[in-house]
């Protein structure tokens, strides 16, 4: 909600908290910030959100190549992963997007991603979310993005390329 005012966002979070979808907690020092997390009941919404994401990705007017925030990119990965396209891929990844770190893995046709550093990942991918989205969703040219300094890849390049092919976008719906 990039255009939402802080007051609107705060009210929406309070509404979700009252409804039992999220819970608020305070991080320990030195952060000591308040964060919101999904409750167990809130987590149950994931299949619904993914289904809406797949439906939206079929829009005939889908504006591909738009700037994508970090959280939206991670949600898109979770939504668009296709185990058939991943084939026998078995690898671990660390995604570095600005100051954010995510640990991701593909194993037995399943994709998992969570906040935090990877533990000895096979591949480290670094770049902003839009550059990484271009690789994953728009068949971006890795060499070109590396040359431009938009993306950095460390580790098993074959595993990186295999990951990029595991998130096919669906065909657009007829207009």
Question: In total, how many domains does the chain have?
Answer: 2
25, 56: one domain: no
Same domain, 74 and 141: yes
Residue 77: pLDDT band with limits 50, 70, 90: very high
Q: Are 66 and 2 in contact (CB under 8 A)?
A: no
Q: Is the pLDDT of residue 4 over 80?
A: no
What percent of the chain is predicted at pLDDT more than 70? 97
Reported confidence tier of residue 147, pLDDT bands at 50, 70, 90: very high
Model pLDDT, residue 6: 84
Length of the chain: 175
Give the domain range for residue 14: 6-43
172 falls within a domain: no
Same domain, 28 and 52: no
Residues 26 and 80 in one domain: no
Residues 16 and 27 in one domain: yes
Please tell me the pTM assigned to this model: 0.82
Query: Cβ-count burial of 97 within 10 angstroms (0-12 exposed, 13-18 middle, 19+ buried)?
Result: buried
Say how many C-beta atoms besides its own lie within 10 A of residue 91's C-beta: 19
More confident residue, 132 or 175: 132
68 and 124 in a single domain? The answer is yes
Mean pLDDT of 50-61: 89
Report d(CA 124, CA 82) in Å as an integer: 21
Closest-CA residue to 155 (of 128, 135, 126, 129): 126
- Mean pLDDT over 129-141 rounds to 89
Beta strands in the chain (DSSP E): 22-26, 34-38, 91-97, 100-107, 110-115, 123-127, 151-155
């Amino acid at each position: 909600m990039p255009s939402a005012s802080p007051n609107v966002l705060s009210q929406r979070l309070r509404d979700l908290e009252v409804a039992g979808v999220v819970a608020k907690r305070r991080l320990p020092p030195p952060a000591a910030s308040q964060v919101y997390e999904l409750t167990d009941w809130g987590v149950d919404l994931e299949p619904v959100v993914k289904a809406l994401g797949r439906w939206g990705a079929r829009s005939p007017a889908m504006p591909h190549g738009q700037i994508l925030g970090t959280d939206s990119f991670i949600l898109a990965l979770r939504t668009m992963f296709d185990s058939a396209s991943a084939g026998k891929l078995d690898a671990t990844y660390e995604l570095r997007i600005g100051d954010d770190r995510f640990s991701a893995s593909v194993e037995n046709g399943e994709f998992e991603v969570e906040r935090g550093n990877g533990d000895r990942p096979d591949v480290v991918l670094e770049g902003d979310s839009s550059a990484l989205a271009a690789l994953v969703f728009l068949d971006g040219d890795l060499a070109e993005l590396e040359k431009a300094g938009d993306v950095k890849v460390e580790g098993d390049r074959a595993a990186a390329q295999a990951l990029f092919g595991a998130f096919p976008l669906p065909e657009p719906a007829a207009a």
